[in-house]
Structure 1
């Protein structure tokens, strides 16, 4: 699908969608709990659907209800704690890295005999540090590098060790699996943990389902930071009902449009007290010089004289595409550091940001693990590719606000991965977009 956007400032109010990051974790926890859980989740997307599909494949019953889901747990399908009845299940993760990295250790903890499949790009994304730890704990993997990947055997409790500079999703996956094991488990992470707010999100969901996690901060004999998560053998306990928060990660694009336009943009349904790390978008935009306001259930950004900044994005990699669109039109130079994780997203997102913004006339270069952008008052416009990456497509749509001529986005359907309503909401804010099937 081609999205053709005629440049116009965006303004007004748009509703937040449900947080994809939180929905993954809550739906998995509910499927592992000791009873039925009602999950309030106003919207879904391809990635959330992938997690639901995988949980259904191993025995959970997930029924759509008004405003969310009713989830009947997979544990009712267990025989002596092992998923024997569903041998040969296929778990289709689609394009969702979160689904694969969370469900792989969970399926191993349940002793599932299952095959993981997914898109070609998902098969290229690294999981070796996680599979190495799972094999050491008694699991067997059959298949070439990548997907499909067949798993057998049941994961043993014990000590798991990971470096802090790997995907935080490996750590979250082990945390989600640990309460299912026959014994106490330690997850030791050496070095500074990148994207740590996402681990905090996992811990918050575990706590909501009655799982207690001990955290000890220390150092290795060599002086590196050492974080040890300890999870005793315990079960998930349903809270009965739980709500998914509004999504800060995708709200970031609308708030960034507010910084670039002529009038304010408000996202309704996000909370400043959220446990999502990407709530940092408000503070980041204010660093650029935009004006912001937050209430208990909304965030607003309005334009002002925006200027370049230097920002370490190791903990907020998903905000970089939205912030890059702002930087492209800010006075002076912006330097985003700590961008290495962007190379292993849905595409090489670091290179894609530089190339696709460059096609619109932005001055962007990659300097090691940094992204350097020299701002312009106005971009040119032109034709770009989404790279089949939802955040690249949305970045281009927001950058169009400050372009002199129309912007065409090839593969615009990539937004369905996290935000199927994106272009509908774009129009809601006054945007002029035509969607053309190709």
Structure 2
């Protein structure tokens, strides 16, 4: 584990953020289903995040699997996206698999797929307690009607969308509750279209025609990542002279909304409590909470209960991170309250909670703190943005990393 010591500093320059992790996951799955992983363009080796390495390794194993090799052992590391996208794909291909993970991944829910696959000749067996990893996947998925909640994880919907075109008949995805994080599903559909596969929105959910072959007329190049850009936009909000240079003007990435959120924080005089509904953009919560800490007055982030099932309990972790900087904050069952003080922070010790987004938000606040800040577990950025601290130092940041074992 790495601890990072950050001193107050000024950041400046143009930043180029890495390709979208969400789009890379989806692009790699589609490329694999088209029979050629190389059709999805990857960043340089040193910029490959841990999660993308995990998806790559699993897909290579799937492509190399022999028909008589059962079960196929797959390790999803700490990547919830890898797990949730690949389970229905494996089921559609009829590949029996024994799947496990690490960190908090085994405690993240999987029962929704078990229920959705009922009646489709596919079973999920959980050798341990409850419906958590490890799991054994058996059978070959049959087409039809798949009922899935929309408010637990949009990745369930994305996984089904990727898998159902492979079946020998049409299917319907029925949302049992309103869909949250819908922009991530839109991203899935965008990538599928690039690979010649489609689905249509219906009143109940999605209609997915079967017998659709994946193919690519040209390589898929993922857009830069608005989720990572948010931390540099946060830096600019804190008064640093930085800008993200490579963001597209048009995108399906929901986290592109962050710039507008910052404008609202800047324009608000701090009177009545401002409220942000983050149901569609939950990954922005650490960066948005950090920006709210630099604003004046009370800010409420609502509809974020799913964040309790991320790499950390991200609501509790964000509250603790803000309190380490002397900011009054309170985690609620489904959100967070932040009492902004206009940008006055004290240095201190932050527990990164093995959560990449907590670490990056804390690093930006540390640049404006009075005194040094230490962040325990700074190496968590490898999950999504392994070159973050390199980019941070190149922009003028003062960050010293040291291994604490």
Relative to the length of structure 1, the TM-score reads 0.86
Indicate conservation of the 8 Å contact 2:195/2:216, yes or no: yes
SS of corresponding position for 1:59: helix
Query: How far off its partner does 1:305 sit?
Result: 8.5
SS of corresponding position for 1:119: coil
Mapping 1:393-412, distance limit 5 Å: 393-412=359-378
Tell me which residue corresponds to 2:215.
237
- In terms of mean alpha carbon deviation, does 356-365 or 165-174 score higher? 356-365
Mapping 1:160-175, distance limit 5 Å: 160-175=146-161
Whole-angstrom distance in 2 between the partners of 1:177 and 1:278: 25
Query: How far off its partner does 1:429 sit?
Result: 1.5
Q: 1:413 to 1:36 in 2, by over 3 A?
A: closer
Tell me which residue corresponds to 2:5.
4
SS of corresponding position for 2:162: helix
Q: How many residues align?
A: 395
Tell me which residue corresponds to 1:206.
192
Whole-angstrom distance in 2 between the partners of 1:5 and 1:156: 54
Q: 1:336 to 1:36 in 2, by over 3 A?
A: closer
Indicate conservation of the 8 Å contact 1:329/1:402, yes or no: no
- In terms of mean alpha carbon deviation, does 365-374 or 276-285 score higher? 365-374
Indicate conservation of the 8 Å contact 1:138/1:156, yes or no: yes
Indicate conservation of the 8 Å contact 1:10/1:430, yes or no: yes
Q: Which of 208, 216, 229 lines up with 1:251 in the alignment? A: 229
Mapping 1:149-228, distance limit 5 Å: 149-217=135-203, 226-228=204-206
The answer to whether the aligner puts 1:98 opposite 2:84 as a matched pair is no
Mapping 1:10-409, distance limit 5 Å: 10-33=11-34, 37-42=38-43, 43-59=47-63, 84-142=67-125, 143-144=127-128, 145-217=131-203, 226-261=204-239, 263-289=240-266, 309-376=274-341, 377-409=343-375
Whole-angstrom distance in 1 between the partners of 2:69 and 2:257: 42
Indicate conservation of the 8 Å contact 1:163/1:191, yes or no: yes
Query: How far off its partner does 1:208 sit?
Result: 0.8
Q: 1:86 to 1:52 in 2, by over 3 A?
A: farther
Indicate conservation of the 8 Å contact 1:157/1:181, yes or no: yes
Query: How far off its partner does 1:11 sit?
Result: 2.1
SS of corresponding position for 1:173: helix
SS of corresponding position for 2:345: coil
SS of corresponding position for 1:234: coil
Query: How far off its partner does 1:269 sit?
Result: 1.6
SS of corresponding position for 2:366: helix
Whole-angstrom distance in 2 between the partners of 1:348 and 1:136: 34
Whole-angstrom distance in 2 between the partners of 1:154 and 1:215: 25
Relative to the length of structure 2, the TM-score reads 0.93
Whole-angstrom distance in 1 between the partners of 2:48 and 2:298: 37
- In terms of mean alpha carbon deviation, does 230-239 or 208-217 score higher? 230-239
Indicate conservation of the 8 Å contact 2:170/2:207, yes or no: no
Query: How far off its partner does 1:163 sit?
Result: 2.2
Indicate conservation of the 8 Å contact 2:143/2:168, yes or no: yes
- In terms of mean alpha carbon deviation, does 368-377 or 154-163 score higher? 368-377
- Which string of whole-angstrom CA distances, capped at 9 and with x for unpartnered residues, describes residues 320-368 of structure 1? 1111111111111111111111111111101110112112211101233
RMSD: 1.9
- In terms of mean alpha carbon deviation, does 84-93 or 207-216 score higher? 84-93
- Which string of whole-angstrom CA distances, capped at 9 and with x for unpartnered residues, describes residues 9-46 of structure 1? 32221111011000000000000015675322324200
- In terms of mean alpha carbon deviation, does 125-134 or 102-111 score higher? 125-134
Whole-angstrom distance in 2 between the partners of 1:283 and 1:322: 13
- Which string of whole-angstrom CA distances, capped at 9 and with x for unpartnered residues, describes residues 153-203 of structure 1? 111111101122120000000111101112111101133210000000001
Whole-angstrom distance in 2 between the partners of 1:132 and 1:433: 47
Query: How far off its partner does 1:240 sit?
Result: 3.0
